Amino acid sequence: MPQHCPDNAAAMSVTILIVDDSKLARMSVVKSLKALQPDWTRLEAGNAEEALALTQNSNPDIALLDFNMPGLDGLDLAAELRDSHPRMVIALISANRQQDVIARAEAMQASFLAKPLTEAALAVFLTKAVDALGKD
């Protein structure tokens, strides 16, 4: 049974960007998002370049970024997104749980979510993201 985020999150207009070079990983995240927040707008990109192009014409509130991608990795992408969208809530998703990666994510005010990403962990992050956005 899905864990739902707070009621005020359901009433919000939120756009979330999902960036992962693995289509299967994106599909898994989207499935969880549909269960947790079916009314949110979802944008998907298979790499950092696609994500940057998408964000030129949109203003996502939240970004879920895979760490290990070809080209720009998730941390580099997070830095670029932070510069262009300073209020965006960002999470780095990775199976690489090395302290250096986690510390670098935290240094740029991004959350770290371990792969495989569970619906419960995503729900906790989304609740914090909604609070950080201050949308109600």
Strands 89-94 and 62-66: parallel
pTM attached to this predicted model: 0.90
Instruction: For the chain, list the domains and their CATH numbers.
Output: 7-133 (3.40.50.2300)
**What does the alpha-carbon distance between residue 71 and residue 125 come to, in Å, rounded to a whole number?**
26
* Structure confidence by residue, pLDDT tens digits, 50-61: 999 999 999 999
* Structure confidence by residue, pLDDT tens digits, 5-20: 444 444 568 999 999 9
Contact 63, 19 (CB under 8 A): yes
* Structure confidence by residue, pLDDT tens digits, 26-41: 999 999 999 999 999 9
> 120 φ, ψ to 5°?
-65, -45
**What does the alpha-carbon distance between residue 22 and residue 104 come to, in Å, rounded to a whole number?**
23
Residue listed under structure tokens 């510390």: 103
